């Protein structure tokens, strides 16, 4: 039987309607949630992602601002911008779009963000809190993945989840959040020997390797929930995931498309974090 396709766009629309209601309630108390995105350089993909974030804010009523800076900006100047935003009471969320130019330390810039305003969930304080199960702002893509799995109605408890990719943005946080849901988690990565040995055991397969078409039908356990986090532009200019969609949909129980799968969920979780930050900072 063909897989049920998990359209992130539809799930995101549901959640955004709920978030718009929360924004209305905050506004009635005089609080206007605000997000500032800092974008350095002229990478077209980063500009496109940031436009999507601003559109999402507009949709739910969050005030958003984009600060554009040339790639030649110094680390000190960038940190000074972040520090000013830390002090601005109208800014509840700060997001510095990654990657940064090579001469700027990501660690220094992310570390400079006040953790209560770190709506990416990348600050070491938020990562640490997430890891030990304390409340924190959660990394958006990982959180979006978990919400999508929840929408299948399948409990994660006791399931074998296999995560491909160990990035700080997706692989590592999603593995913690899956454990919090009581799944048994196996981490695979670029040096894993015999990847298929693991993927074929997965009740839940999260593919975040950044390698176009890495996973096909032979790699998937029949009926598995397969979440494709990959976004790869191939030579034809087309955007494709890490999973061979047409093959995988004949074997998987649930499958996310690319585009239109995880992407809209990432932005939605960013909006959710901004509202949460506004609530926490105004409490």
Whole-angstrom distance, CA of residue 98 vs CA of residue 66:
14
Q: Where does this chain touch ligand GUN (CB under 6 A) — which range of 96-104, 130-138, 178-186, 193-201?
A: 96-104
Q: Find the catalytic residue in 53, 172, 221, 249.
A: 53
Quick note: the x/- pattern for ligand GUN over 135-154, rule CB under 6 A, is -----xx-------------
Dihedral sign of CA atoms 78, 33, 58, 210 in order: positive
Whole-angstrom distance, CA of residue 48 vs CA of residue 6:
23
Known binding positions: 165-167, 231
The reply to whether omega before 259 is within 30° of 0 (cis) is yes
| Closest to ligand GUN by CB, 11 or 270 | 270
Whole-angstrom distance, CA of residue 35 vs CA of residue 22:
15
**How near is the Cβ of 111 to ligand GUN at its closest, in Å?**
14
Known binding positions for NADP(+): 165-167, 231
Q: Where does this chain touch ligand GUN (CB under 6 A) — which range of 28-36, 89-97, 143-151, 221-229?
A: 89-97
Residue 221 catalytic?
no
The reply to whether omega before 176 is within 30° of 0 (cis) is no
Burial category of 91 from C-beta neighbours within 10 Å (exposed 0-12, middle 13-18, buried 19 and up): buried
Give the residue, chosen from 20, 66, 79, 98, that forms a contact with ligand GUN under the rule CB under 6 A.
Answer: 98
Q: Which residues bind ligand GUN (CB under 6 A)?
A: 95-98, 120, 140-141, 169
């Amino acid at each position: 039987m063909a897989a049920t396709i998990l359209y992130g766009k539809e799930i995101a629309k549901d959640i955004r309607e709920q978030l718009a209601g929360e924004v209305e309630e905050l506004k009635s108390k005089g609080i206007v949630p605000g997000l500032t995105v800092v974008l350095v350089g002229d990478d077209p993909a980063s500009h496109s992602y940031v436009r999507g974030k601003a559109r999402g804010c507009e949709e739910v009523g969050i005030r958003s601002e984009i600060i554009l800076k040339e790639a030649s900006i110094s680390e000190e100047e960038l940190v000074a911008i972040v520090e000013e935003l830390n002090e601005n009471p109208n800014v509840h969320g700060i997001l510095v779009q990654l990657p940064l130019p090579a001469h700027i330390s990501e660690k220094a810039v992310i570390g400079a963000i006040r953790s209560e305003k770190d709506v990416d969930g990348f600050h070491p304080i938020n990562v640490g809190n997430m890891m030990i199960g304390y409340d924190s702002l959660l990394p958006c893509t990982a959180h979006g993945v978990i919400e999508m799995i929840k929408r299948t109605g399948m409990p994660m408890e006791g399931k074998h989840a296999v995560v491909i990719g160990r990035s700080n943005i997706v692989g590592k946080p999603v593995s913690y959040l899956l454990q919090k849901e009581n799944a048994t988690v196996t981490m695979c990565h670029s040096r894993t020997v015999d990847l298929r040995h693991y993927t074929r055991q997965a009740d839940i397969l999260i593919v975040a390797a950044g390698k176009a078409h890495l996973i096909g039908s032979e790699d998937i356990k029949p009926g598995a929930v397969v979440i494709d986090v990959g976004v790869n532009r191939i030579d034809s200019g087309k955007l494709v995931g890490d999973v061979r969609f047409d093959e995988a949909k004949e074997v998987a129980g649930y499958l996310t498309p690319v585009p239109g799968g995880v992407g809209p969920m990432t932005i939605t979780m960013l909006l959710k974090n901004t509202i949460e930050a506004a609530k926490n900072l105004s409490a």
